[in-house]
Amino acid sequence: MKLTVKDIKGTDQGEFEIKFPLIENGKGTQAVHDVVVAYNAAQRRGTACTKTVGEVAGTNKKPWRQKGTGRARAGSFRSPLWRGGGVVFGPKPRDFTKKVSKKTRQLALRKALSERMHAGDVIAVDDLKLAAPKTKEFLGVLSALQLTGTTLVVVASLDQNLKLASRNVNYVDVTTGDDLNTYQVLRSDKLVITRGAFDQIEQRLAK
């Protein structure tokens, strides 16, 4: 598959061939699902915690004698039936991460990129260098490329000017070809990928 390369002013600079094979059929759909589920699970802190009967503060003294009061028998102030007592089967700190194989991650990324390319959501640029760390200059590049909605910018290396110019734009995410993941590919409306970032992605998918 060939993509048209543009510069930061939106002018066509020719075409280049995508080296990694695109997925044409339904293969890889399950891999994408597994990787996205694993990504979302890894974002969970897993710090929810409740105290059991043995952990809540309280004495071991019996609240009242077993018989003769007319009330129900009770053995502890820390009973789960009581206000301030322990919690039965409550959450405890845990790790929610799921293991996904390297081949599955590669397949999912290739599938996601293939779908976005077939849909025409990927814009290739020769390079994305800013003369100054100005948000106005960065927005001018987005306007020249006719981008609306959420955008993911993928570059070979994140220089300081681009990092500072883009951090105030809440509908734009910037990453590198080495750090790109399947969730990011699917999340944004449009993807802007530099040729250097394409080389990094091709090396990852070729391993």
Q: Are residues 136 and 36 in the same domain?
A: yes
pLDDT (tens digit, 9 = 90+) per residue, 48-94?
999 999 999 999 899 999 999 999 999 999 999 999 999 999 999 99
Write out the DSSP string of 41-89: HHT---------TTTS----S-SS-SSSSSSPP---TT-TTSTT---TT
Q: Are residues 56 and 153 in the same domain?
A: no
Mean pLDDT of 122-146: 92
Picking from 19, 49, 207, 46, the residue whose alpha carbon sits closest to that of residue 113 is 19
Q: Are residues 108 and 176 in the same domain?
A: yes
By the 8 A CB rule, do 38 and 98 touch?
yes
The confidence score (pLDDT) of residue 163 equals 93
Domain at 190, CATH number: 3.40.1370.10
Q: Is the pLDDT of residue 207 over 80?
A: no
Mean pLDDT of the chain: 93
The structure tokens listed for 7 are 């510069």
The three-point CA angle 151-179-177 to 5° equals 70
Q: Are residues 139 and 183 in the same domain?
A: yes
Radius of gyration of the chain (CA): 27
Q: Is the pLDDT of residue 103 over 70?
A: yes
Distance CA 24, CA 3 (A): 16
Amino acid of residue 195: R
Mean pLDDT of 147-161: 92
Domain, as residue range, for 68: 45-95
By the 8 A CB rule, do 132 and 163 touch?
no
Structurally, the chain folds into a number of domains equal to 2
What DSSP character marks residue 168?
Answer: T
pLDDT (tens digit, 9 = 90+) per residue, 159-194?
899 999 999 999 999 999 999 999 999 999 999 999
The confidence score (pLDDT) of residue 10 equals 85
Q: At a CB cut-off of 8 Å and minimum separation 6, what does 130 contact?
A: 137, 138, 141, 159, 161, 162, 165
- Helical ranges in 119-181 per DSSP H: 135-144, 160-166
pTM of the model: 0.84
